[in-house]
Amino acid sequence: MAVNPLNPSPVSLAPLPAGPLSARDVMRDAPVIPVIVLHDPAQAVPLARALVAGGIRMLEVTLRTPQALACIEAIAREVPEAVAGAGTVRSAADARAAAAAGARFMVSPGYTQAVGRAARDLGLALLPGVATGSEIMAAQDDGFAELKFFPALQAGGAAMLKAWQGPFGEVRFCPTGGVHAGNAAELLALQNVACVGGSWLTPADALASGDWARISRLAAEASALARG
């Protein structure tokens, strides 16, 4: 697929559902959710356009840098084809700040009831992070059935996901952590995997040099991955 980061083609992407997004909407939109670490708000808009040009518009900007909220704000304001989301949401205060910045979904590295309640109060989709059966059950108790499996490769990878298909057959996962172009297909082939997450679409050196064409290529490759 030919892509031009200076002239993204949102027409090639299906229209988003009207109104608030569900976690299912977020996970089904593309095979990969990019996990993004930004230190410079000036990079946020060209990066978002480059990812959209490659067919990836659900963008998880992690709340790990002092500039993260400003980056979410810039994407929400200036790149309507993209959907800005917040990652590394660890508290209700993080969730409120993300919503105020314009995030339309949230991803957390673990699950607490406080984060779950905040997401519901704010009307924002949440992909809670889980790594054990007990954590899955706690998230399910609170009504969450679309979950991030984190850190996926370190915590058991595809074998763990296969083991969860029995007791947690209705749950859909977004494995994240150690996922890359070389192992994403194996994970995406599993029936309980809706999408994967990872930082490989936004290499630090490409961000630093403003190599948006490379990021668009990586996004285009990612958006072409098959799902099971």
- List interacting residues with ligand 3PG (CB under 6 A): 35, 150-151, 176-179, 198-199
The residue among 43 and 62 lying less far from ligand 3PG, judged by its C-beta, is 62
Q: From residue 52, how far is each of 28, 34, 58, 207 by CA, in Å?
A: 15, 11, 9, 15
Distance of closest approach, residue 58 Cβ to ligand 3PG, in angstroms: 15
For residue 135, indicate whether it is catalytic.
Answer: no
The residue among 149 and 212 lying less far from ligand 3PG, judged by its C-beta, is 149
Give the DSSP H or E segment for 130. strand 129-130
Distance of closest approach, residue 167 Cβ to ligand 3PG, in angstroms: 24
C-alpha to C-alpha distance for 15 and 173, rounded to whole angstroms: 23
Distance of closest approach, residue 30 Cβ to ligand 3PG, in angstroms: 15
The residue among 8 and 98 lying less far from ligand 3PG, judged by its C-beta, is 98
Q: Which of 78, 148, 162, 170 is catalytic?
A: 148
Distance of closest approach, residue 176 Cβ to ligand 3PG, in angstroms: 4
Annotate 106-159 with three-state secondary structure: EECCCCCHHHHHHHHHHCCEEECEECCHHHHHHHHHCCCCEEEECCCCCCCHHH
For residue 148, indicate whether it is catalytic.
Answer: yes
Six-digit token string for 116: 């779950």
The residue among 76 and 89 lying less far from ligand 3PG, judged by its C-beta, is 89
Burial of 200 (0-12, 13-18, 19+ CB in 10 A): middle
**Which residues does the annotation mark as catalytic?**
60, 148
